[in-house]
Amino acid sequence: MSSEQHLQISEWPKPVYNFEQNPITEDGFQLGRKLFYDPMLSRDNTISCANCHLQFTGFTHVDHAVSHGIEGRKGTRNSPVLINLAWNSSFHWDGGVNHLDVQAINPIQHPAEMDNSLSNVLEYVNDSKEYRSAFFTVFGDSIATSSSLMRAISQFTVSLVSSNSKYDQYQRGEVDFSNQEKRGLKLFEKHCNSCHTAPLFNSNEYASNGLPIDTAYNDLGRYGISKVGSDSLKFRIPTLRNIEHTYPYMHDGRFKKLREVVQYYAEELDREAPYLSEKLKTEMKLSDNHQKDLIAFLCTLTDRSFLYNRRFGFPN
């Protein structure tokens, strides 16, 4: 079985990730998993990737709006979910990272995340008999380099595929939706799917959904990377898979409940907001019951076989 088949899901678009440059193997996946859950990667050995990316919440954090790193240092953004990353063509809320295989440098070096240096991490890994032997098995060289370290981590993160929610089962004709879920699906297709597009429920694009700028961070989103004025306040359109469990919501975690998000789109969104996407300029007219229907549909995107898959959990 080639690695690409391993992630090829019928009816889904082809993954963006180039598996030829980093063929996924079982040993590589297990090595990446070990690294992902290893707090020794942080400067004071307290924070692993999993501290901010917890499996049972779709690999994001839940207890605070923005991420917390070593020594309780606060970041400026909500940690995104790690779901179906093989289909993403850019990463971070502003798309500031364009390849998964370089992404992990950011949290390792970020002062408010792991605050370490790549050379420290490599020294630690290359001092460990277990890691040396694992790197030899996977990459044919017992000495880890920054490139093999990054690719090992990607072998794990790119394997975090969620494709077995109730929605997927419904699409495959295995289960039925309740009438409420069916009504919610219709509303979703009308108002949300143009951006949060099935089957991945994201877009590899940036948009403003009209949120007023957060006064704590003054985060201008995509503009910070592109420096193009019209990109102000645009953020990557995130996936809604497992959304029931990935609160708080938005780049700054400003909403704690799905109900608040739906209410925002239905009632609070300022249709005159600067940079607002054309797609959101017409009012949605969603009654309380419509909003409930929509939420019922969003909950069909929960995939317990993903959130509780032991294969993705803490290694034994």
Kindly list the residues in this chain that would bind ligand HEC in the complex (CB under 6 A). 36, 41, 47, 49, 51-53, 67-69, 75, 77, 79-80, 82, 85, 88, 91-93, 103-104, 107-108, 113-114, 153, 157, 191-192, 194-196, 207, 209, 211, 235, 237-238, 240, 243, 246, 249-251, 261-262, 265, 277, 279-280, 294
Min dist. Cβ of residue 223 to ligand HEC (A): 13
Q: Which CB atom, from 14 or from 190, has the smaller least distance to ligand HEC?
A: 190
Q: Which CB atom, from 53 or from 168, has the smaller least distance to ligand HEC?
A: 53
Min dist. Cβ of residue 106 to ligand HEC (A): 7
Question: For residue 227, what are its two tokens?
Answer: 């420096």
Element (DSSP H or E) covering residue 206: strand 206-207
Under DSSP, the state recorded for 167 is H
- CA distances in angstroms from 158 to 69, 87, 100, listed in the order given: 23, 9, 8
Min dist. Cβ of residue 3 to ligand HEC (A): 18
Q: Which CB atom, from 15 or from 238, has the smaller least distance to ligand HEC?
A: 238
Q: Which CB atom, from 195 or from 307, has the smaller least distance to ligand HEC?
A: 195
Min dist. Cβ of residue 42 to ligand HEC (A): 7
Burial class of residue 127 (count of CB atoms within 10 Å of its CB; 0-12, 13-18, 19+): exposed
Q: Which CB atom, from 2 or from 13, has the smaller least distance to ligand HEC?
A: 13
Element (DSSP H or E) covering residue 45: none
Cβ 38 vs Cβ 30: under 8 Å: no
Give pairs for 313-316: CB < 8 Å, separation 24+: 313/55, 314/37, 314/50, 315/30, 315/33, 315/34, 315/37
Q: Which residues contact 16 (CB under 8 A, 6 or more apart)?
A: 86, 87, 88, 89, 204
Min dist. Cβ of residue 14 to ligand HEC (A): 18
Q: Which CB atom, from 134 or from 243, has the smaller least distance to ligand HEC?
A: 243
Min dist. Cβ of residue 307 to ligand HEC (A): 15
